[in-house]
Amino acid sequence: MKQVKVAIVGASGYSGEELLRLLQRHPGVAITCITSRQYDGQRIGAVFPRFAESDLTFVAPDAAAIAAAAEVAFLALPHGLATEFALPLLAAGVKVVDISADFRLRDPAKYAHYYKAPHPAPEMLAKAAYGLPERYRTEIAQADLIACAGCYPTSIILPTSAILAAGLASPQGITVVSMSGVSGAGRKVDLPYIFPECNESVRPYAVTGHRHLPEIEQELAVAAGLDDLAISFVPHLMPVNRGIHSTILLDAMPGATPEKVEQALQSAYADEPFVRVLPKGGLADTKHVTMTNVCEIGWAWDEHTGRIILSSAIDNLTKGASGQAIQCMNIVCGLDEAMGLL
């Protein structure tokens, strides 16, 4: 089989490590370039000892060199910096699968509000496909630039959009409480993330205005057929390495029934290789999905309050980042969508 040549730009963080883990055994790709400013010239085993057997070596990032080496580039860079590499790579004909937040929002004003700076390339926003294959498979297949859905957004949009699209819940008053493992903060060396500060602790953060909020609202509005909507989103940090759990509370619409909820979820995802809908009363557990590309969705019907309670679990580094990016790459390259991910 001919192998797609891929580059990983910004390969020394946890998303980069997960891309390396998955792509090294992906039969349809050859990794031809991995970049890291900090580790330029070092073999990946020096940074990630579990890959000590690999000959791959970090190089300092250079768009021309990446374009010469690869047909597809994964960008695992901070927001802002991703755009700096995306533009020349696209110009050079490289497909870009971006894990950063740079191209997820349609509205540059929202980007400016939440990221405290004008968007560096607003004209690109309309050209990017939103990298959530279960909802944008066709767009992804045709795009040159794919903005992979964020970790929290993936865990929330998948279960909720199916219910909203079926008209079973009100788009008003949606409440989401999520919990993320510490790898979600990246490989960040900062006091709140050292072991003794995280272990035996649980705490919310960014309870108003988390940067993933407008992305979640954008996609739920699409599902509900609205221009916009507002939700409550409260993320928490919890002491696990990997995993995101989201609990979502929705007000059921008149006429909604448990049977219709089950039907909506099942019909939305029956053929999806990476979405698991549990039977009624089933509850998602991060343990069931770690190291997989699966989003597990549980749901309950709360007669007491007239609410639909959704729960979902993903591995933040796989379906929440690198696995999803590979799923998008498989689509855009015409490979089997699940290749390298089972």
Minimum CB separation of residue 245 from a second copy in Å reads 5
Q: According to CB under 8 A, which residues from 40 to 69 bind a second copy?
A: 49-50, 52-53
Which candidate in 148, 151, 198, 328 is catalytic?
Answer: 151
Please give the size of the binding site for a second copy, defined by CB under 8 A.
Answer: 75
Provide the sign of the torsion angle of the four alpha carbons 217, 218, 219, 221, taken in this order.
positive
- 213-224 and 108-115 helices, crossing angle to 10°: 150
Q: According to CB under 8 A, which residues from 270 to 309 bind a second copy?
A: 276, 278, 283-292, 294, 296, 298, 300-305, 307, 309
**One residue of 2, 25, 55, 142 binding a second copy per CB under 8 A:** 25
**Segment near a second copy (CB under 8 A), from 64-72, 158-166, 186-194, 324-332?**
186-194
**One residue of 109, 194, 226, 338 binding a second copy per CB under 8 A:** 194
Cα separation, 336 vs 327, whole angstroms: 9
Q: According to CB under 8 A, which residues from 65 to 124 bind a second copy?
A: none
Q: According to CB under 8 A, which residues from 222 to 241 bind a second copy?
A: 230-232, 234, 236, 238-241
**Segment near a second copy (CB under 8 A), from 98-106, 117-125, 199-207, 322-330?**
199-207
Which residues are CB-neighbours of 259 under 8 A, at least 6 positions away?
A: none
**One residue of 10, 243, 320, 323 binding a second copy per CB under 8 A:** 243
Q: Smaller CB distance to a second copy: residue 138 or 266?
A: 266
- Encoded tokens for 12: 């020394």
Cα separation, 23 vs 8, whole angstroms: 10
254 forms part of the interface with a second copy (CB under 8 A): no
Minimum CB separation of residue 127 from a second copy in Å reads 29
Which residues are CB-neighbours of 211 under 8 A, at least 6 positions away?
A: 101, 114, 115
Provide the sign of the torsion angle of the four alpha carbons 261, 283, 289, 100, taken in this order.
positive
Instruction: Count Cα neighbours of 153 within 13 Å in the Cβ-side half-sphere.
Output: 27
Q: Smaller CB distance to a second copy: residue 103 or 301?
A: 301
| CA-angle at 240, arms to 237 and 243, nearest 5° | 80
**Segment near a second copy (CB under 8 A), from 101-109, 140-148, 243-251, 259-267?**
243-251
Which residues are CB-neighbours of 321 under 8 A, at least 6 positions away?
A: 15, 18, 76, 99, 148, 151
- Residue 151 bears catalytic tag: yes
Q: Smaller CB distance to a second copy: residue 127 or 287?
A: 287
Catalytic residues: 151
